[in-house]
Amino acid sequence: MDLLYFVILIGSLVFVHELGHFLAAKAFGVKVITFSLGFGPKLLTLRGRETEYCLSLLPVGGYVRVLEASKSDVVLPEDRRRTFEALSLYKRIVVVLAGPAMNLVFPVLLYSSVFISDGPFLPPTIGVVLPGHPAEGKLLPGDRVMEVDGSPIGTFDELKRLVARRPGKTLRLKVFRDNSYVDVEVQVAETVERRELDIIERVGTIGVQPSAPAAVIGVADPASPAYRAGLRTFDVITHVAGEPVRRYADLVRLLSDNRGETVPVTYLRPVPVSGALGGLAELSIFDSGVAALTPDSGRPDFLGRTGIELADLYAASVPEDSYLYKAGLRVGDKIVRLDDRAVEAWSVFRERVLAEPDRPHRIDYLAARDGKVHSGSFRMRREDFVDEHGQSFARYVLRVRPWVPLAPEERVDHPTPIRYAVAKALEETIDVSRFLLVGAVRLMQGKLSLDTLSGPITIYEVAGEEGRKGADYFIWVMALISINLGLINLLPIPLLDGGQLLFLAIEGGLRRPIPMRVREVAHLIGMVLLVAMMALAFKNDVEKRWDVIVGQVKGLFG
């Protein structure tokens, strides 16, 4: 079955590539003598009006043979204007370029066929506005963004992608708020993200999240009504006086008008399971309960009346070997200040620390063990990692985490699924192409090991693995290899399309064809380079699977 997937994968990509050359040549009136899928002995031959269509034994390539006087083809008088050489320079460039171009366009169709089935999606409703970000004071939780710069949107994913592409720009948003439409202008901030292969990405952000936080509470004051009622930090409130609670905002709404009446509050309390899965995982189970909460009617603010706040700034996980644990922070403690500045939200704490990871920081926290504010100092550690490409890198990791799950909005179908699929497919194709090009540059710079090069054995295995997973997985890997094939064919190596483009560019500069002897020597050098690349890729494939190969050989010969 793996062989069938491999043949389908390679055969499809070769067909698309050669079809590009074929269609371009036909469009310009060039006579096509042979269109072959595969090399070697011909298994099947169909004769057209002037073109022979072949299916050959070896499915790892193909070719389109056009009429060329330079290759000593017999050119009849009526076909003299139908040779490849008879075309103008730019038309010959188009014919040569059409093959790789088809391999770069084909993934857009492949990705589109996958993305068209995406959904349902989160609606473009604002769940959280992060403090200190451009959207603060402009957008409100519950706002539904209908348009961005005059273009309708239907999902939060679209809003995120449009914002990411406009760092430093001002966005005009049409927002549905309180049963009316409001026009809002937001200046997009620019953030710099470092990705694999040291790719630096400049991304726009306005500081919004798609879903509101669930009703996970923090209870810091032992004298508060919530604590006296038996509620504790990280309790998940599910009902207030029988009314269901999904979001923290629902909890605030249901208790805001209370003026001292006792109400039943139903909650779920996470109870840690020690040694879960043999110590491999952190696991908690929920224990349910009901508390009789009597808010303090003499206090003006919600926190003062109830003793309840969102658990956003409460540490839910503090590993014992972490720098913050050594600074005194424990699970259940609330972060109050960082470097003598108040911390409004966990996102603010995280951004401030990661903005200056190389210097010591002072942290003030409200300890759950005694209800007092303590202080400590810490400095982040740079941790080393090795990615899947064998490239080493270091980064700072914030090892303490909060626990505030989100309450997702009801999902919606995309209003224009075809437009969404094509737009996202185009973005994905561009991103993958850029990643592969950067990888090639890193190889030439020596920053990426040559061991990362893979050959036909890897493609064979990947085709089989992804094919068995399902059509979407197989299409995804086909798109990736198609982009690879298109870019490799553009390399300026004789025998590849890129080498032919180089010859044509030189011809355009010299205003005369390159001598045949020079072309022959160049093709010989190109063949040596390609054989060397294939040998290296094959060597890497064998080395990665050497133990498996040895085991199979021993199994065959006992």
The span from the CA of 176 to the CA of 123, in Å, is 12
Give the whole-angstrom CA distance, residue 99 versus residue 470.
Answer: 28
**Positive or negative torsion for Cα 543, 544, 550, 556:** negative
Reply yes or no on whether the pLDDT at 164 is more than 80: yes
Let me know if 18 is a catalytic residue: yes
Q: What is the pLDDT of residues 13-62, one digit of tens each?
A: 999 999 999 999 999 999 999 999 888 888 889 998 889 999 888 777 88
Q: Which residue has the higher pLDDT, 397 or 178?
A: 178
For residue range 425-484, what is the model confidence (pLDDT) as tens digits? 999 999 999 988 888 888 888 777 777 778 777 888 888 888 888 889 999 999 999 999
The DSSP element (H or E) to which 151 belongs, if any, is: strand 151-152
Residues pairing with 217 in the sheet: 310
Amino acid, single-letter form, for residue 217: I
pLDDT per residue as tens digits for the range 381-403: 877 655 555 555 567 788 899 99
Token pair in block for residue 119: 């959904």
**pLDDT tens, 85-105?**
889 999 999 999 999 999 999
**Is pLDDT of 526 > 70?**
yes
Host H or E run for residue 39: strand 32-47
Cβ partners under 8 Å of residue 130, min gap 6: 136, 207, 208, 209, 345, 347, 348
Highest mean pLDDT among 181-185, 416-420, 455-459, 546-550: 181-185
Grade residue 208 by pLDDT with cuts at 50, 70 and 90.
very high
Mean of the pLDDT values across residues 270-292? 82
Task: Give CA–CA dist 427/160, Å, rounded.
Answer: 14
What is the dihedral angle through the alpha carbons of 202, 207, 211, 212, rounded to the nearest 10 degrees? 160
> Does 365 score more than 60 pLDDT?
yes
Q: What is the pLDDT of residue 281?
A: 67
Beta strands in 410-514 (DSSP E): none
Q: Which of 18, 158, 309, 409 is catalytic?
A: 18
Global confidence as pTM: 0.79
Q: Which of 58, 80, 62, 59 is nearest to 18 (CA)?
A: 62
Long-range CB contact pairs, 201-205, < 8 A, 24+: 202/167, 203/164, 203/167, 204/163, 204/164, 204/165, 204/166, 204/167, 204/168, 204/169, 205/133, 205/134, 205/163, 205/164, 205/167
Query: Residue 508: which pLDDT band, with cuts at 50, 70 and 90?
Result: confident
**3-state SS string for 213-247:** EECEEECCCCCCHHHHCCCCCCCEEEEECCEECCE
Which residues, 6+ apart, have CB-to-CB distance to 246 below 8 Å?
214, 215, 407
Which value, to the nearest 10 degrees, does the dihedral of the CA atoms of residues 290, 291, 297, 301 take?
Answer: -80
- Answer whether residue 359 shows pLDDT above 70: yes
Q: What is the pLDDT of residue 548?
A: 64
* Comparison of pLDDT for 525 and 337, the residue scoring more: 337
pLDDT at 550: 63
Amino acid, single-letter form, for residue 17: H
SS (H, E, C) 95-148: HHHHHHHHHHHHHHHHHHHHHCCCCCECCCECCEECCCCCCECCECCCCEEEEE
